[in-house]
Amino acid sequence: STGRPNAQCRNRLALIAVKKRTWVAPGFTQTGDHPAVCVSFADANAYAEWLSQRTGETFRLPTVNEWRQIASYKGSGDACQDGRIDCGQNGTVPVSQGPASPLGINGVRGNAREWLSDCAGSCRKHLVTGSGWRDNASRADPTRTSGLDSNLGFDDVGFRLVREVSPP
């Protein structure tokens, strides 16, 4: 609704981008129930600002410490059962699929990796965390972080927002 141009999106494991991908068409079937991927760090922040203005609430990307608090629970031990990782299918699934965390949050143990507000190095890169549909079972650690180019979107990286609340 803001007319913001699509970020350049790529497969984070491929050296060359052959297929044009966008958050609307990331290279696999998506519906409104799937996490938005192919969004850059700037896109995620712009959405948080837009939503904050629209609702009057304050939304932002989580910090690495906040993420670790929601993602550091033990699953069943079966990474394919606990989250949407590379278990033989391409692309994301509806966010309600898979088990919820003890806090009732879905998709923490897989589906799409997620942008965090924290940066890496000189802040040319920003941290992403979690497990995505392209990660294999041996890399299915939802608290693992890595730095990615914050100007690009990736077909297995999306975002989650936190809403700031005032203490009672």
Per-residue pLDDT averaged across 47-54, rounded? Answer: 95
What does the block give as tokens for 29?
């079937």
Give 149's strand partners: 125
Q: What is the pLDDT of residues 92-125, one digit of tens each?
A: 888 877 677 778 887 777 788 999 999 887 788 8
* pLDDT given for residue 134 in this prediction: 82
H helix runs in 95-151, sequence order:
none
* pLDDT given for residue 84 in this prediction: 63
* pLDDT given for residue 111 in this prediction: 82
For residues 38 and 7, is the Cβ–Cβ distance under 8 A?
A: yes
Q: What is the pLDDT of residues 22-43, one digit of tens each?
A: 888 888 888 888 889 999 999 9
Neighbours of 3 (CB within 10 A): 4
The pTM of this model reads 0.87
Give 27's strand partners: none
* pLDDT given for residue 41 in this prediction: 94
Name residues whose C-beta falls within 8 Å of residue 163's C-beta, 6 or more positions apart in sequence: 57, 58, 59
* pLDDT given for residue 79 in this prediction: 65
Q: Rounded to a whole number, what is the distance in angstroms from the first to the last CA of the chain?
A: 34
* pLDDT given for residue 54 in this prediction: 95
Average pLDDT, the chain: 83
